[in-house]
Chain A
């Protein structure tokens, strides 16, 4: 292919323009952009829901909403944040950056890629539509069981449960298709010379995530389908009166649900070392150890699920097995922490926004990990379980460990994607406000949980008032701070200081050899890795 035909190809590409371009695009960068935009929108939607919840919890008593509506908000908040904000953000990065990092021209299965994305908006509508329908007197609102769908509460629930079941089916199909695409791309489309052990860690993290998704999403799909037939077709999978067992649902749900935690985190664990290495101007420490640890965590994550319902009652040997296997996860995770810190050790660090987020992420995610270790203890878990202690714990893992990691990635790659530098001052302000208000939101919740406040209650006893008030004020700050994030992204996409190809002084990897922004088609001729 001569140079002139390549240019021709890019200038007069036969893709349509306007809305139709986005509907029919099979370009990995377009699809990545759509995933990331969708994720940002849903992050704000899920955030708005929880702002309403924190407003209700500002003081004891019911001020703003009925308990039914409260239950709907907490469940849909979780589903939106997990399935429509965090997962699509990781998939968006995968679409944008995997082909660039491994020197591939595009994802392996572009049409599947397009379909995978366009299943998401209908799923998001299905999840939230019952809120609107209820306004017109149809049904009684969205799913009110929490995001866990526990039977028999979900068997008893209204049409919101059915909507959520179908939304989960769509999201699941989308995830499985995305995963197939990523696995095929990584296995088949690496640049010549890029062996698996030269693969960027982000690709490794995603590869394991993709296998976990393919292994566990069908189990979730099966569980919610059984729920659907229990609800409408007279089966009794989860009804003891018909020979079923409600706890069966919890086993099936968490067989998916626990790996899901790592599905959300593994891609982040992949690119954080790249960010640390960039801003420490020092190669990644212990690459092999990290790869093996990621694999070990992937395997362990599917054998520890029952620690999510220790209080449901299990035989002693089962309790002990799930306790010790959960504790075992701390070992590979400690290897990762060791490598992350060793990567910045004796580096030459600068603290641009991505680095601030990455370092804040290590510290805060560390709190999430350590409290998780404590939660693994069955006896103490009887006290922690289903209290605000757990709520605080999993927000340290999923907000700090997930979303703040994603934010690090956004600031890291945004100049590459848009070709403009974002506003550094605003970025730093965003980090500090986020980190401080996040801690002020969730540290009080640890104490609330220890003092005995159950989660998912719309109203609480008077001794919990003060901590709830602090938590609410901080949560409002945290929520408003995210507007800075949106503003910074939008203004960076629209213009700003031109970014260089390398963007960061210490950046290292194939994506930084391309122009910023990269042309519509890249690596039409694959680079050779030595």
Chain B
């Protein structure tokens, strides 16, 4: 009876494990390295793993020999020694430690030294500089020099909530897809400056071998030199709140020519968006534009329907702030009013003025006031937002 049940459990287990063999692409080691640092890391890792496995196997073999041979059931008579008793024994006792000393500080220690020095040398021969800012829960990228100088944008995860909630089939790049990937040139040493606008994040692309914390109020740096074009995906790896698992970083590497072409077209696109701030918008256009921005940026806390997750994340439906005045009679921003809260944030609410442009802020505020069960009826023009900056 019991045996039958155990057999059945094994069958269930095997059934669960069988699909494994169907996937040929799952990884047993670091992903294929595309930067010198990642290659170095992989080599160091492989070497160290072999060393520790040899140590493990040798020690385990000694233990197994002892367990098999030195047992009472074989009538093995116990020895009585409590330590090395002759000089020769003492010498042989010290040999393993000499070997370990050699492994620690020479075999492993010297290559590790060179890796560390190379990893931390962000400046020598750097071709361009970018700034990466982490914020809950998205990355912002800014090009500080080179052909793309002046370009800056926000990169959000695009995986829809339905897929996360298992209401829709998952994309192959589930949780690792973004709207605006970072684009970098190949074969250029890119110095990456990192900071954060709220809590500590960590920008990590496994194929680059580079991971560095983004710390609010400080700059940290690392570097990448991507050696082949392609798309590379990673995630935030420092716990940063409820959206920590939903903060991917995606980098597209292009050769120099394609990169310059991309920079030109991206600049034109951003200019067009900035021009949108000077035109007069209708309320319907603002609401329609605001819906997408709301769902991408705000819905994670305030929820798609605006009901929030009280008490941490208040509801917007019927909220005093979202239905209260935006500007006072002198056309100044009302303190702790709707626009103030969206632009400057408070507590857990991030400051959006650095993340969203004027049109986006105006749209999302107009949307929140005229949708989600609210019907204040007024609207905010992008030009008015621009004037508050």
Chain A stretch 313-372: residues in CB contact (< 8 A) with chain B? 313, 316, 319-320, 323-324, 327-328, 330-331, 334-335, 337-338, 341, 344-351, 359, 362-363, 366-367, 370-371
Q: A140-B312, A348-B77, A454-B204 are in contact. Are A460 and B175 (CB under 8 A)?
A: yes
- Does B91 belong to the interface (CB within 8 Å)? no
Residues of B within 8 A of A338 (CB): 93, 96
Q: How large is the interface on B (under 10, 10 to 19, 20 to 34, 35 or more residues)?
A: 35 or more
Quick one: which of A312, A345, A462 contacts B215, CB cutoff 8 A? A312
Interface string of A282-308 (1 = CB under 8 A from B): 111111110000000000000000000
- Does B280 belong to the interface (CB within 8 Å)? no
Taking a contact as CB atoms under 8 Å apart, the answer to whether B70 and A346 are in contact is yes
Chain B stretch 229-278: residues in CB contact (< 8 A) with chain A? 233-246
- Interface window among B104-112, B324-332, B375-383: B104-112
Taking a contact as CB atoms under 8 Å apart, the answer to whether B175 and A153 are in contact is no
Q: A280-B78, A450-B27 are in contact. Are A153 and B241 (CB under 8 A)?
A: yes
Residues of A within 8 A of B73 (CB): 350
Quick one: which of B13, B105, B204 contacts A324, CB cutoff 8 A? B105
Taking a contact as CB atoms under 8 Å apart, the answer to whether A378 and B115 are in contact is yes
Residue in chain B with minimal CB distance to A335 = B97
Chain B stretch 108-137: residues in CB contact (< 8 A) with chain A? 108-109, 112-113, 115-120
Q: A62-B166, A450-B28, A460-B245 are in contact. Are A382 and B210 (CB under 8 A)?
A: yes
Residues of A within 8 A of B215 (CB): 240, 246-247, 312-313
Chain B stretch 31-59: residues in CB contact (< 8 A) with chain A? 31, 37, 40-41, 44-45, 48-49, 52, 55-56, 59
Quick one: which of A247, A366, A379 contacts B112, CB cutoff 8 A? A379
Q: How far is the CA of A286 from the CA of B97 in the complex (A)?
A: 15
Q: A286-B82, A323-B112 are in contact. Are A452 and B31 (CB under 8 A)?
A: yes
- Does B86 belong to the interface (CB within 8 Å)? no
Instruction: Please give the distance in Å from A293's CB to the nearest CB on chain B.
Output: 11
Residues of B within 8 A of A387 (CB): 237
The dominant DSSP class at the A interface is: helix
Q: How far is the CA of A374 from the CA of B217 in the complex (A)?
A: 32
Quick one: which of A144, A324, A334, A359 contacts B97, CB cutoff 8 A? A334
Q: A71-B242, A379-B116 are in contact. Are A284 and B235 (CB under 8 A)?
A: no
Residue in chain B with minimal CB distance to A315 = B120
Chain B stretch 52-86: residues in CB contact (< 8 A) with chain A? 52, 55-56, 59-60, 62-63, 66-67, 70-73, 76-83
Q: How far is the CA of A380 from the CA of B237 in the complex (A)?
A: 15
Residues of A within 8 A of B23 (CB): 466
Q: A346-B70, A374-B49 are in contact. Are A71 and B82 (CB under 8 A)?
A: no
Residue in chain A with minimal CB distance to B210 = A382
- Does A158 belong to the interface (CB within 8 Å)? yes
Interface string of A449-477 (1 = CB under 8 A from B): 01110111111111100110110010000
Pairs across A and B, CB under 8 Å, 5 listed: A144-B241, A380-B112, A450-B29, A451-B28, A457-B235
Sorted from nearest, which 3 A-B pairs have the closest CB atoms?
Answer: A240-B217, A379-B115, A457-B245
> Chain A interface (Cβ within 8 Å of chain B)?
60-63, 66-68, 71, 137, 139-140, 144-146, 150, 152-153, 156, 158, 239-241, 245-247, 280-289, 309, 311-313, 316, 319-320, 323-324, 327-328, 330-331, 334-335, 337-338, 341, 344-351, 359, 362-363, 366-367, 370-371, 373-374, 377-380, 382-383, 385-387, 447, 450-452, 454-463, 466-467, 469-470, 473
